[in-house]
Amino acid sequence: MTPEIVDSHGVRLRPFRLDDVADTATACADPLAQRFISGMPDPYTEQSARWWITEGAPAAWATGGAAYAIADPASDRLLGGAGLSNVQRARAQAEIGYWVAPWARGRGVATAATRALSARAFADGVARLELLTPAENPASQRVALAAGFRHEGVRRSAGLARDGGRYDLTAWVRLAEDPAGPAPRPLPDLPDGRLTDGVVTLRRLAPEDTDALYRLHTLPEVVASRVRQVPPTRAAIARRCAIAESGWLTGGSADFALLDEATGTLAGGCALSYDEPATGQAMIGYSLLPEARGRGLTTRAVCLLAGWAFGEVGLARLWAGTAPDNVASQRVLERAGFRREGLMRGRLPGRDDARLDTVLYALLADDPR
């Protein structure tokens, strides 16, 4: 690929210049850039920026990749960077990446640049582009979706951290024949970011929910309802909260915080696991802190979740399972309109190699609720 200037989608892609040194250094020293682009020098100085402009970027072009500055078409000021790496000409494949300066964020710059560079790469003969993001970086995943990339899976331990550790990367892919975007999403965002009936509110689980969720999921009665009856670590709960938005964006699960409007605090949680997209079916689960029980909050939450699942998501069937002796959970489901369908024998692993039965409940889109 040659470093020709591309004016498209409201941004300009051009080669880096020496007068970009100060802006490049400031942008790449930003904590967000340092957090999610582990290959950047730390600290990032003007000397680092000068090396990139005079040696790093030219080397990317010389090896068949690309290293563009993203600039404002009107002022030509640097807004970020976008490039192609890991080019495999035999497979007509490359990896696309980007960063955006703090002063340019929130304006769709990354999406515009990704669309522009993708079009340039496809015109140059690339058939497949990959975009890899940490699960903890939902903003980058939203860029991928907006630019027409589709979730393809997880690259285990594909990321290298600054301390030498490794971490998973979420893989997004766009083919030359795919539409420019946005890509379809199995799980849409909540209207206004929440579902509420005035008594309970459901919103997406977030990192600030870690302490309350850890307390909830280490309660003995909640541990007893887990797939494996072992209490989670706090680190596991913190990661669950950190990647909840990613689960929503990839279409695998919608993890909710359940808020009690009377106190304004987290009272519990519920989740939708999209286990059978091909058949329009998903599983739900829920749990509540002791001080919030006995007031019908869980039933309200299940009704809100079901309305969203059958409405905005477009599901045909929801199902839930309970332990045979969990009468309270069965009453929640029945009050929300679920019907008992049978017993799944030995469905879940128990302690000491035992298998546990599960009572199956289901709700269809056209069932009364």
Question: What angle (nearest 5°) sits at the alpha carbon of residue 27, between those of residues 26 and 33?
Answer: 130
What spatial distance separates the first Cα and last Cα of the chain, rounded to whole Å?
Answer: 58
| Non-local CB neighbours of 249 within 8 Å, separated by 6+ positions | 138, 141, 142, 145, 151, 185, 187
Phi-psi region of 193 (alpha: psi -120 to 50; beta: other; left: phi over 0): left
- Element at 210 (helix H, strand E): helix 210-217
Pairing of strands 66-71, 78-88: antiparallel
pTM over the 0.75 mark: yes
Q: What percent of the chain has pLDDT over 70?
A: 100
How many helices and strands in the chain, by DSSP H and E? 12, 16
Same domain? For 260 and 121 the reply is no
Domain assignment present for residue 127? The answer is yes
Question: Which residue(s) pair with 282 in the sheet?
Answer: 318
Q: Which residues of 289-302 are buried (b: 16+ CB within 10 A; e: fewer)?
A: beebeeeebbbbbb
pLDDT at 368: 86
Residue 315 placed within a domain? yes
Does 66 lie in the same domain as 165? yes
Supply the CATH number for residue 322's domain. Answer: 3.40.630.30
Measure Cα distances from 86 to 93, 214, 363 in Å. 8, 40, 47
140, 175, 210: which is the final residue of a domain?
175
Phi and psi torsions of 91, nearest 5°: -105, 0
pLDDT tens for residues 235-286?
Answer: 999 999 999 999 999 999 999 999 999 999 999 999 999 999 999 999 999 9
Q: Which of 151, 175, 199 is the last residue of a domain?
A: 175
Confidence of residue 348 (pLDDT cuts 50, 70, 90): confident
| 24 in the same domain as 164 | yes
Hey, what amino acid is at 292?
A: A
| Tally of domains in the chain | 2
pLDDT score of 118: 97
Query: 138 or 163: which carries more pLDDT confidence?
Result: 138
Q: Which of 45-49, 52-56, 220-224 has the lowest mean pLDDT?
A: 220-224
User: Are 198 and 157 in the same domain?
Assistant: no
Which of 126, 148, 175 terminates a domain? The answer is 175
Residue 180 in any domain: the answer is no
Q: Is residue 182 situated within a structural domain?
A: no
Are 329 and 284 within one domain? yes
Range of the domain at 116: 6-175
What would the DSSP string read from start to end of 1-31?
-----EEETTEEEEE--GGGHHHHHHHHTSH
Q: Measure the CA dihedral 216/221/223/226, to 10°.
A: -110
